[in-house]
A and B are shown apart, each in its own frame.
Chain A
Amino acid sequence: MSLLTVENLKMYYNTIRGDVKAVDDVSFTVGTRESLGLAGESGCGKTSAALCIMKLLPTNGRIVDGKITLDGTDVVKLSDEEVRQKIRWKRVSMIFQGAMNALHPTYTIGHQIAEAILTHENVGKKKALERAGKLLELVGMEASRINRYPHELSGGMKQRAVTAMALSCNPDLVIADEPTTALDVIVQAQVLRVMKELQGRLDLSWILITHDLSMIAETCTRAAIMYAGKIVEYGEVVPMFKEPLHPYTQKLITAFPSVLGPKVELSSIHGFPPDLLKPPPGCRFHPRCQYATEICRTKEPTFVESGKGQYVACHLY
């Protein structure tokens, strides 16, 4: 059974000009010890979808419809207090985008990790600090670093510290939102390796949110590609990268230059992502799609399975 099931999730933001449909009918599952990659351009709704799982919505955001089932309980139906006590950090935790730059500058790393433990669990301060040290060792730092302040650590170390913080209450699922974007390639590789190692050691599931598909190729078992609030392709990573079905996925994979293999021309996608206040009718990708036909402009494509557990929402199939 899968650990997390998201079904037909819809999340809208209230604005003066109307509802922004940030997440519009999105479904996916995450199994135990599995890592799911959630990819797409900025503003496609990938972070909003993740925030729904934690129920950490900004005041103008609301879940309109859908079910988020974590181990049999529907998170959507739980009250805020219940989510705070039972779900957040204990079951699902998150490494927020840019979290390493949001560490409190006047508290030590250990204090900040212990704070998460003290908030969620009934343990003493000394015990919490001890655990903070163990957590740092887990992510490849010395336990003595709990006495360090954020400014004394490098970017890679800070990223490891926030990873330790996410692991502080032994969650089953960790959502990592662009965990390596501010890091240099070598440090990025180091952090990704730590994440992969932890997955095996702690029986963790990951949701990795990123715009860089090559990172998903290297770390995830399955991937969901989002475009303008919807998932356009979903399935196992290996067949998806071998033979991407949706035109958007095809473009996205070849948009990144590779250091391996022959030098190929980079693909580009004409135009810009749509305004989610007024998304285009039919298939949302049709204004930028080179294969668009009449039906794409009028009818929204539904998911079809194309064998090998790969799903795609496109009229071509």
Chain B
Amino acid sequence: MEKGIAVEVHNLVKYYELKLGFFKTLVTRQVPYVHAVDGVNFAVREGEIFGLVGESGCGKTTTGRCLIRLIEPTRGEVLFKGVNILSLSLEHEVRRLRRKMQIIFQDPYESLNPRMSIYDIISEPLRIQKVAESEEEISDRVSQALEDLDLVPPEEFLYRFPHELSGGQRQRVAIARAFVLRPEFLVADEPVSMLDASIRSEVLKLLLGMQKKLHTSFLYITHDIALSRHMCDRIAVMYLGKIVESAFTDDIIDKPLHPYTEALIAAVPVPDPTARRIEVVIKGEVPSAINPPPACRFNTRCPHAMDICRKKEPPLMEVEKRRLVACHLYGSEGAKR
């Protein structure tokens, strides 16, 4: 059974122009760019949690923000229910879109206005979108939103300020704000990475509960592949602005195909002392996105790098059923491992 597609991304590109000093601008012929996102394609199906996994600087956050137009991409298409949202130019059109698409930010200490009460914070989207008929309706929906996130009784939280809440409670307020408009698509950018372990899983459970209840489609951005295993239906692994592998979560965790995915999984510490194995499969760190390595961007660190990896960029293609990998090891030119 094929589900409908909620959001489709075609060839998304975002380059940031590098700001040079005055003298350098005089001598430099070509303006350098940071290739944050460089030709990314994927689709999030309806009611699905799609994970975007990668190390810092791989472009996962930029991708997430481009999807709801918090960042204007350089090129590409983002289709939401068949409409290319990047072609919308009028403000009210974009605003209407935000009713359907929302985001949860990483840091609940920065994403909530310290001068606004919890009531103001959660009711703000309702006011901007003018979806409530009366003040009572706003107040009802705010209370409901708080209850949904287990911030009970709501009256106890309504008139408090962010600094009076713990990190976990703050993040739940941020989630309540994202859900109050009943969006169809949500971008969750590392929503629990700032929280303590014991609180983390509770927030994740609430998030999963809301997702089931409202059948929201999710783009879940994380650096933690173990966490994505727990949360996501499908995942895409990003490296230096490109997707290197994409498939159903269990398939990737059980048998990663791309050497980078393999390394990423091997590097995660496991809570089992008998399984001790700090295996560092790859050396060095992510190269700069200003001058990314030519051809396959992973070739500088890849233990299997061949000649072709330095000459030709591997396309993202289906090598097994429902498994997309961008690696010459699996192409016709490379010998299959």
Contact = CB atoms under 8 A, between A and B. Distances in A.
Interface of A: 41-42, 154-157, 184-190, 192-193, 196, 211-215, 217-219, 237-238, 241-242, 251-261, 263, 266-270, 272
A193 B198 contact: no
Given A238-B273, A260-B275, A269 B263 contact: no
A215 B272 CA distance: 9
A269 B200 CA distance: 9
Contacts, number: 129
Contacts of B270: 214, 217-218, 258-260
Interface size bracket, B side: 35 or more
A238 B265 CA distance: 22
A213 B271 contact: yes
Contacts of A256: 197, 226, 271
A241 B273 contact: yes
A186 B202 contact: no
Sort A-B residue pairs by CB-CB distance and give the 8 closest, nearest first.
Answer: A268-B202, A266-B201, A214-B269, A268-B201, A269-B198, A189-B267, A184-B55, A214-B271
A42 B198 contact: no
Given A211-B197, A259-B225, A259-B226, A238 B202 contact: no
B268 A185 contact: yes
Contacts of A241: 271-274
B124 interface: no
A193 B279 CA distance: 8
12 contacts: A41-B196, A41-B198, A185-B224, A186-B264, A188-B267, A211-B197, A213-B271, A238-B273, A258-B226, A270-B202, A272-B166, A272-B199
Given A186-B280, A214-B268, 17 more contacts: A184-B286, A185-B223, A185-B225, A211-B196, A213-B271, A217-B273, A218-B273, A238-B273, A241-B274, A254-B271, A255-B198, A255-B200, A257-B226, A258-B270, A259-B225, A263-B229, A268-B202
A89 B279 CA distance: 30
B196 A266 contact: no
Nearest to B200: A255
B210 interface: no
Interface of B: 55-56, 166, 168, 196-202, 204-205, 223-227, 229-230, 253, 263-280, 282-283, 285-286
Contact of A156 (B197, B279, B285): B285
Contact of B204 (A41, A185, A263, A266): A266
Contacts of A266: 200-201, 204-205, 230
A27 B311 CA distance: 60
B168 to A, nearest CB: 7
Which of A242, A253, A255 has the largest number of chain B CB atoms within 10 A? Answer: A255
A54 to B, nearest CB: 25
B273 A237 contact: yes
A155 B55 CA distance: 12
B269 A212 contact: yes
A185 B267 contact: yes
Contacts of B267: 185-186, 188-189
Contacts of B55: 184-186
Contacts of B205: 266, 268
B229 A189 contact: no
Contacts of B268: 185, 214, 259
Contacts of A154: 285
A83 to B, nearest CB: 32
A73 to B, nearest CB: 32
A260 B265 CA distance: 9
B166 A218 contact: no
A196 B269 CA distance: 14
Contacts of A252: 197-198
A242 B272 CA distance: 8
Contacts of A186: 55, 263-264, 267, 280, 282, 285
B265 A259 contact: yes
A190 B301 CA distance: 14
Nearest to B165: A272
A267 B271 contact: no
Which of B55, B166, B198, B278 has the largest number of chain A CB atoms within 10 A? Answer: B198
Which of A193, A219, A263, A268 has the largest number of chain B CB atoms within 10 A? Answer: A268
Contacts of A185: 55, 223-225, 264, 267-268
A257 B280 contact: no
A194 B254 CA distance: 28
B286 to A, nearest CB: 8
Contacts of B225: 185, 259
Which of A212, A253, A259, A261 has the largest number of chain B CB atoms within 10 A? Answer: A259
Contacts of B224: 185, 257
A253 B271 contact: yes
B280 A190 contact: yes
A192 B278 contact: yes
B160 to A, nearest CB: 15
B282 A193 contact: no
Given A255-B197, A263-B229, A218 B269 contact: yes
A263 B278 contact: no
A257 B273 contact: no
Nearest to B55: A184
B195 to A, nearest CB: 10
B28 to A, nearest CB: 20
A226 B258 CA distance: 40
B5 to A, nearest CB: 26
A255 B201 contact: yes
Contacts of A258: 226, 270-272
Contacts of A269: 198-199, 202
